[in-house]
Amino acid sequence: MKSLFNKEKWKTLFYTVNHPADGYYWIRHQDTGSVAIAVLLVILFSLSYSLNRMYASFVVSSVNPRSVDSLQELGGVLLLYLMLCAGNWSVTCLMDGEGRFKDIAIAIGYAMVPLIITFNLATIISQFVAENEEGFYTIILILGIGYGAIMMLTGIMQVHSYSLGKTLLTLFLTLLAVFVIIFLVLLMANFIGQIITFFHSIYLELVFRT
């Protein structure tokens, strides 16, 4: 938490956005990153995403603002973030990755910066856009998402000291791992539910017998 108010950490963040490969290298090897800032960035991204869905002009957006629930989206984004980190960590542990869980969390979290900037910029620009000019809006979003993806890729590459091919492979495996996690969580929830019903029926049986 303290690192949120550390000027050096914020400077590293902006340095990393400008020089992803270099920045992530120092984050891994000199602990210049901050998990708190990374989580804050993810929360900010979720907010920007909800804001975009709610307030982007109806000329460009096909989302019904009434259907947007920003708290639900925040929960979803945080959960996805957690699962991505956990999935990547479990895969890279087995594949000679050098990164710690902390580094992975920072690598993914810092990659949110271009997304935050462009989502909000696109929301503002959408107010000044007419039909047939949606291209401006979309290109901003595409640039942001593209740069974010590049940052995430270099981040994972740097913190684990991987080659590009291996990074792509681990990212694919990470997705698989996320599905496995979801599957296991659902399975566990189901089993726990069954155990609860079992004890509940024992309880009911006892209550009705007496």
Partner 1 sequence: MKHVKRVIAIALLLCLAAPSALAALDLPYDTYTYDYWGDVRFTPAAYVPTATVSGGDLTYHGEPIGAFVTPQDICRSPGGDLYLADTGNNRIVVLTESMDTVQNIITGFERAGGWDTFNAPTGVAVSETGQLYIADSLNHRIVALNADGTLDKIVENPQSEVLEDDFEFTPLKVCVDYADRIYCIAQKMFEGIMVFDTDGQFTGFFGTIEVKISLWEKFWRRIATKEERSKQKLYIPTEFTGIDIDDDGFVYASNIDTDGVQAVKRLNPRGQDVIKTGFRENLGGDLWTDGSTQYAGASKITDVVYRGAGIYSLLDSKRGRIFTYDHEGNLLYIFGGLGTQRGTFTTPVAIEAVGDTLLVLDSYRAAILVFGETEYGALINQAVALRYDGDETQAVEKWQEVLRLDENNELANVGIGKAYLAAGDNEQAMLYLKRGMNKSYYSVAYKRYRNAILRDNLSVILTVVIVLIIGGVAAHRILKKRRLKAGDAK
Going by C-alpha positions, the residue among 100, 88, 104 that lies closest to residue 173 is: 88
Long-range contacts from 132-141, C-beta under 8 angstroms, 24+ separation = 134/59, 134/60, 137/56, 137/60, 138/60
Considering only residues 98 through 157, tell me which ones interact with partner 1, judged by CB under 8 A.
Answer: 128, 130-132
- Tell me which of 58, 172, 191, 198 binds partner 1, using CB under 8 A: 58
Distance of CA 156 to the CA centre of its chain: 13
Interaction of residue 64 with partner 1, rule CB under 8 A: yes
Going by C-alpha positions, the residue among 93, 82, 97 that lies closest to residue 35 is: 82
Considering the complex, what minimum distance in angstroms separates the CB of residue 197 from partner 1? 24
Interaction of residue 14 with partner 1, rule CB under 8 A: no
Nearer to partner 1 by Cβ, of 66 and 209: the residue is 66
- Tell me which of 17, 44, 59, 173 binds partner 1, using CB under 8 A: 59
User: In sequence order, which residues have a C-beta less than 8 Å from that of residue 118 and are 6 or more positions away?
Assistant: 140, 141, 143, 144, 145, 147
Q: What are phi and psi for residue 69, nearest 5 degrees?
A: -120, 100
Nearer to partner 1 by Cβ, of 58 and 183: the residue is 58
Nearer to partner 1 by Cβ, of 18 and 132: the residue is 132
Nearer to partner 1 by Cβ, of 58 and 198: the residue is 58
Positions in the binding site for partner 1 (CB under 8 A):
58-59, 64, 66-67, 128, 130-132
